[in-house]
Amino acid sequence: MFLITLGILMLIASFLVKANPNFSAFNRIGRMLGIFVIILGFSTSCFVQIQPGEVGVQTLFGKVQPGVLTEGLNLINPLVDVVRFDVRTQNYTMSAVHDEGDQQGDDAIRVLSSDGLEVVIDLSVLYHTVPDKAPDILRTIGLDMKGVIVRPVARTKIRDNAVFYDAVSLYSTKREEFQQKIFQSIEKEFTERGLVLENLLIRNIQLPESVKTTIESKINAEQEAQKMRFVLDKEKQEAERKRVEAQGISDYQRILTSTLSDKLLQYEQIKAQKEIATSSNAKVIIMNGKAGAPVLIGQ
């Protein structure tokens, strides 16, 4: 478009100096050069290249044209302007950490839970533009989708849903449920505006210090209780082991007492004396033939 305008201006300038004979040469060259620039401008303005991951929306004198230009080289009306839309996955992060989110400083979402406590939430929104909806988006929203749709909708829906949960539940047991609910709420709004919500990531939930202290005390108490239960279980197992051991000794003694007799004891005595007699260390064995232990002489 710039070349066409430049060529027209050159033609106008050549006609303005037509009456002056001193500029006759410039008049001819100016007309030829102006026509060439106009032709060049029309030829280059008839083609536009769209990069991968983008679509182009055409506007003619401020009016949005239907349809989109896809990636590659496209033939267009040289009078239209092309607005490019990125249709790849976009990430919008709101974080309390400096320089971590899309906006400088603390941009986390502060919500009130059902028990009246302030909870700070870091959130990332993953989304993309529906290519066919790009003309409607340009007409109704413009190019600042993050500022007009993504940011305010996400923050509002989180606050609307957080009031149904207490602070501790948001932090622990109900976190997945809460994330699913706000995903469904935001997804509906995005769909109506030509956006697709891919994922919603609750990156961090920060509780008030008083609640954090209470939770830590509760966790420490539970750990101490688990430790005590372990000690008691161990003591019970040891007591059971000793009881079984004592029962075994008692059973052994009872069986041994009931089975011993005089003849069995004599037999065992004879066996022991025989082993002593055959031992290389035994020198003399005197057996008196009466009841009682034998007399051993020598080593």
pLDDT of residue 88: 94
Which is more confidently placed, 286 or 73?
73
* Residue environment code for 231-255, b if the CB has 16+ CB neighbours within 10 A, otherwise e: eeeeeeeeeeeeeeeeeeeeeeeee
Domain residue ranges of the chain, discontinuous segments joined by +? 2-86, 90-207, 266-297
pLDDT of residue 117: 84
Contact 94, 108 (CB under 8 A): yes
* Nearest Cα residue to 177 out of 144, 198, 197, 202: 202
pLDDT level of residue 229 (50, 70, 90 thresholds): confident
E strands, 156-290, where? 195-206, 284-286
pLDDT at 20 over 80: no
pLDDT of residue 34: 63
Which is more confidently placed, 217 or 7?
217
pLDDT level of residue 73 (50, 70, 90 thresholds): confident
pLDDT of residue 9: 63
* Nearest Cα residue to 123 out of 60, 184, 205: 205
CA angle 22, 26, 28 (to 5 degrees): 115
pLDDT of residue 124: 93
pLDDT of residue 21: 56
Residue 148: DSSP 8-state = I
157-179 pLDDT, tens per residue? 999 999 898 888 888 888 889 99
pLDDT of residue 292: 54
pLDDT at 19 over 60: no
100-120 pLDDT, tens per residue? 777 777 888 888 888 888 889
pLDDT at 298 over 70: no
Token look-up 């037999």 returns 267
pLDDT of residue 26: 58
pLDDT at 294 over 60: no
Tell me the average pLDDT across 261-280.
72
Mean pLDDT of the chain: 80
- Protein fold of 90-207: Tetrahydropterin Synthase; Chain A (3.30.479)
Which is more confidently placed, 128 or 76?
128
Q: Which two tokens stand for residue 236?
A: 């019970």
